[in-house]
Structure 1
């Protein structure tokens, strides 16, 4: 128990431990729920309860009466394997679990979210999925998305390819939201897929009434049955439970820490809307890969030693030289505005280019595009060999450079790859029509 001082003394006097059901009476109000643990540096005036409705609440215990209702009992769960009958009239869809909130449970003792569900558990939690397709579940890893690494992208890509080779007509990947847009970009470059590959997650775990897991999973399976044979991200389109958007894997970004509609397409409209199991293309000008148009191909050689740096007032050229000296094979700079950085960095950036270390310049602005021909600093960057990312997202530029250097170490070939539109990551002339646009119903 991390409770200290007054809170600890009060709880211990009643024989109360973490996980117990307790009742707190205060100011003619009663609070009943399971006692959760707190951070070690929390004050000693409050206790935290998980209420029956799934939400947590902190209650100040001064002038309060606390009673033990029931000692906590760790749930004993014995699950038998699912006996799923295959329906010949339904498509075969695989769900691959990597972890994350969409595949998480609440720790009984602490109230913390942990990646603990397997892909089969997702079916138990959402049996409606079986009404939409023949579902095959598989857990390939069990990590939170902040722990994702490039080798995890390779593992996921190979697992997806295995499912497709085994007959899957679509693949859904359950993934944590924090780095989902990195993984979706990586899979976009690694895989050429003949079937839809859909990444999905949840901002709020399945035990919460406001969880977005159900709609996201159901919409993802619907998208996996469609003809959109690309890597996409499927998440809530708004704060309601009405429909979801399909975002191209190289054009999407997490834009809010907690909102359910956190994922937004940048510099383009979402690829499609998913509502009531139906797929509607959002922008008819989109060209997209269709089911069966390409054979499965996996190009999973990566170069993980890539630095991803942000330009800021006061940044020192020492940061550039440090990464060159440490053997980094490429640099992505998130520059200001049109793709700028302090001029004092330019000699070090030229050094990187001269030593065969490609440097890519993206913009912190996200919307719009880099243009190094407008101001003198940009022209100096071009002369130093810096490659403009155009309207590519900084995260996508980083992932693409990781992939490009896995395909070739030739600097000119890498430049050619970075400047080529391979998976919709680059657009034509950037338009302001997509800036913070509300696409409505």
Structure 2
């Protein structure tokens, strides 16, 4: 049953509604709630979606987090005040300064371009990227910012329909004289988008920087503003004219890191320092005041260079993440459904079990292009070492050295957008475009600290902020 728009208990029904009525509080009441364990929760009662359960009262705590308390555990609710929230990111016209570089911000959605939906307590995409200036006025000291909202989607909904126009929009902005491009993007699939843009946008004269945030702007621990400042600085003044990801470096806010688009992966679901360069080192440390380049092996900024936009994509490709006991009917089903490319994330040096061999051979004979990456992420597919790998080579599976599985997926989609001729597909997959395959892994390209060890604990004690 639909509730009236002026209902003081917006979205609440059943037992939760009865609890609010019993304690004479409403949505937007500032309350002190005590549960059966004596724990005290202070904050504002949020509206609920009518599709949610009727067993929880939801409070936006003063620390910025939403907490749901089961009605059976509520012992007391005291109203401390009342103030209906009206959440709107301010939108302001961006000032022009003739002495500053020109940066274009392309909006796709995601947490960095978001606002809170108090009806559900969820974060939803912002309506215009221009609202970001109202939230982060420091941007006016860095550049002349132009904003274009291309899409308003969460990153899990990015696909061919977004990748192609995004690459074309980058080309348009470069042609219009932009000194750098920033792309606001959700973090979940930011690595995928950075990889495909590394193939679709080649020989860029200016930096192309993807940026997002792990925590939304309404939370005290949000990384949105600082990530955006770092990304805009990198686009405006940085020397690296490649597709990059810019996010927190350490867990603190001391600096951000610029990661190469083909070698970066999200490695934690909620840490602000979630992005890691895999099999290499980051390109650069960036702060509010300086750039510290960690390597000189990059394409430098050069406004005379002509960008090449090669925006093609065939989405009939998938990753087959191997696990022990995998059945061959999975491979047969992919062929039957019309898939043209399979990236296997194999174990160890690039292995799968023997029962898959006949199905993989049939797939290749029917024109499916099958390549091998390793699910260890670090290291190389070296299929010539053991009999298993050599058998797979004989079947026709091609190893991709140290290309990340997700990067391999994106590249195979891009390659198949050009050709279906098998030898040419494999030649293109094996030919590096943007460091997706490297000759070797540097000695400091694989650093994973194991917690609990004395040397790790000593490091954490002295460096953790």
TM norm structure 1 = 0.92
Q: Which among 270, 273, 278 is matched to residue 282 of structure 2?
A: 270
Is the CA contact (8 Å cut-off) linking 1:195 and 1:230 kept in structure 2?
yes
1:30/1:398 CA distance change after superposition, 3 Å: closer
**Aligned position for 2:266:** 254
**What is the Cα-based RMSD across aligned positions, in Å?**
2.5
Is 1:82 matched up with 2:92?
Answer: yes
Distance 2:183 2:400 in 1: 28
CA separation of 1:359 and 1:294: change in aligned 2, threshold 3 A: farther
- Aligned CA distance change for structure 1 residues 31 and 84 (closer, same or farther; 3 Å): closer
Which residue does 2:374 correspond to in 1? 363
1:95 to 97, 105, 108: 105
Q: 1:106, CA displacement in angstroms?
A: 1.0
Structure 2 partner of 1:142 = 152
Counterparts of 1:215 and 1:199 in 2: how far apart (Å)?
14
CA distance in 1, matches of 2:354, 2:76: 65
- Post-superposition offset of 1:114: 0.8
2:212 to 195, 201, 209: 201
Distance 1:207 1:312 in 2: 40
**TM superposition shift of 1:194:** 1.2
Q: How many residues align?
A: 438
> 1:237-282: per-residue Cα shift (whole Å, max 9, x none)?
0110110000000000000000000000000000111023322211
1:167 corresponds, among 166, 177, 185, to: 177
Structure 2 Cα separation of the partners of residues 76 and 208 of structure 1:
13
Q: In 1, Cα distance between the equivalents of 2:344 and 2:63?
A: 46
User: What is the Cα deviation at residue 184 of structure 1?
Assistant: 0.2
State the alpha-carbon separation in 2 of the partners of residues 29 and 354 from structure 1: 66
| 1:282 corresponds to | 294
Deviations 1:152-181 (A, max 9, x none): 111211111121122111000000000000
Q: 1:50 aligned to 2:81?
A: no
Aligned to 1:64, the other structure's residue is in SS state strand
Alpha-carbon deviation of 1:113? 1.0
Look up the SS of the partner of 1:324 in the other structure: helix
Structure 2 counterpart SS, 1:312? coil
Greater CA drift, 274-283 or 167-176: 274-283
Deviations 1:384-439 (A, max 9, x none): 11111110000000000000111212111110111011111111133453213589
Q: More deviation in 227-236 or 326-335? A: 326-335
Question: Which segments of 5 or more consecutive residues in structure 2 lack a partner in the other structure?
Answer: 1-9, 450-458
Q: 1:11 aligns with which of 20, 39, 43?
A: 20
Is it true that 1:245 corresponds to 2:257 in the alignment? yes
CA, structure 1 residues 393+430, in 2 after alignment: closer, same or farther (shift >3 Å)? same
Q: Give TM-score, length-normalised by structure 2.
A: 0.88
User: Contact 1:18/1:110 (CA < 8 Å) preserved in 2?
Assistant: no
